[in-house]
Amino acid sequence: MKDNLEILVEAVQGDRKRVFARYGQKPSKALGERTIRWVLRILGATTVTITALIVYILVSDAIGFFQEVNFFDFIAGTQWEPFGHEKKFGVLPLLSGTLMIALGASAVAIPFGLGTAIYLTQYSPVWFREIATPVVEILGGIPTVVYGYFALVTVTPILKTLFGDDTVQVFNAMSASIVVGISILPMVSSLSADSLRVVPVSIKNAGYALGMSRFHVVTKIIIPAAISGIIASFILAFARAVGETMAVTLAAGATPTTAWNYFEGIQTMTAFIVQISLGDASAGSIEYFTRYAIGLTLFVLTFSFNFIATRIVRRFREVYQ
């Protein structure tokens, strides 16, 4: 009885028609085959349709906002005051707060996530890896609202003890960055670990054959070979931090500002969407349409990060035989 590998080898090297009875023929018209094809087509079309509808709603309602607010004033303005008599709609304070959280969270998640991935794939014994990997993955499954309260009741008091009550505000970007970094750490760890695992053993053995130590094999051979997947994990984790909502809403406060002080309160784009969705704005008002303008800006940012990650993977991907 031939196993699957032998059948595939025979199919590649020999007569595929003899191995696969329907090779080269039209797709089967059996009811089961047709049902599977149509189900898959419907699922694929549904996904594309939902994405298109989301983009359509964001763009159509954002147009209502930009009919009253100049686009360049929106993207270049340094004051965000959508409520009150004299409204100002400069998105830079919200964008600044969003980037502060994303960069701060990346500073936490990237070194710890990559270090975890390297240790679990290259150094740790099997028994420890089987225990530690699920524990790390659990961090990504904790609700972000829990991280927000954790920042308020645990991280912020620690920061106040270290840097002083007068320096650290109750709502601050530092505590929010720390907890968001913890929440995205499993993404960096798991994606980087997957990239490190696919590096062929023969390449590592070649390094050992040349007399290299394990440290030099990891840093000079394995990491460069997996660099495309590692960088992609960094970018995707950064994009995930940009879209974080509840943790920053609870921990970072609601003070739009362009001052890059991590010990003071800020407001991100997602936090403002939460604020405006609590019923403070009447339907059809300019305040109402701000959520769609901010949502469209956030969509463009996250889409750009994902596009860049995809291009990096394709550009630097290593293909091994």
Q: How far apart are CA 224 and CA 291, in angstroms?
A: 42
R_g over Cα of the chain: 25
pLDDT computed for residue 236 by the predictor: 86
Say if residues 174 and 263 touch (Cβ distance below 8 Å): yes
Give bridge partners of residue 80 from the DSSP assignment. Answer: 89
Instruction: Say which residue, 49 or 61, is predicted with more confidence.
Output: 49
Q: Name, in order, each residue with C-beta under 8 angstroms of 166's C-beta and a sequence gap of 6 or more.
A: none
Q: Is the per-residue pLDDT at 316 higher than 80?
A: no
Phi then psi for residue 3, to 5 deg, are -85, 175
89 - beta bridge partners? 80
Which one has a higher pLDDT value, 67 or 156?
156
The angle subtended at Cα 36 by Cα 30 and Cα 41, nearest 5°, is 125
Percentage of the chain lying above the pLDDT 90 cut? 21
Dump pLDDT digits (tens) for 60-113. Answer: 888 888 888 888 888 888 888 877 777 788 888 888 989 999 999 999 999 999
Phi then psi for residue 80, to 5 deg, are -120, 100
Tell me the pLDDT tens digit for each residue of 141-153: 888 899 999 999 9
pLDDT: which is higher, 114 or 80? 114
User: Tokens representing 188?
Assistant: 């960096």
Q: How far is CA 59 from the centre of its chain?
A: 23
Mean pLDDT along residues 123-130: 89
Spatial separation of the C-alpha atoms in residues 102 and 240, rounded to whole Å: 8
267 token code pair: 């407001």
* Per-residue pLDDT tens over the stretch 216-253: 988 888 888 888 888 888 888 888 898 888 889 888 88
Task: Provide the CATH topology of domain 88-316.
Answer: MetI-like fold (1.10.3720)
pLDDT of 290 over the 80 cut: yes
Q: What residues does each domain of the chain span?
A: 88-316
Beta carbons of 148 and 246 less than 8 angstroms apart: yes
152 vs 144: CA distance, rounded Å: 13
Mean pLDDT rounded to a whole number for the chain: 83
- The length of the chain is 321
Mean pLDDT of 262-288: 80
| pLDDT given at position 182 | 93
CA distances 70 to 89, 215, 256, Å, are: 9, 55, 20
pLDDT tier at 184, thresholds 50, 70, 90: very high
Pairwise CA distance, residues 249 & 277, whole Å: 13
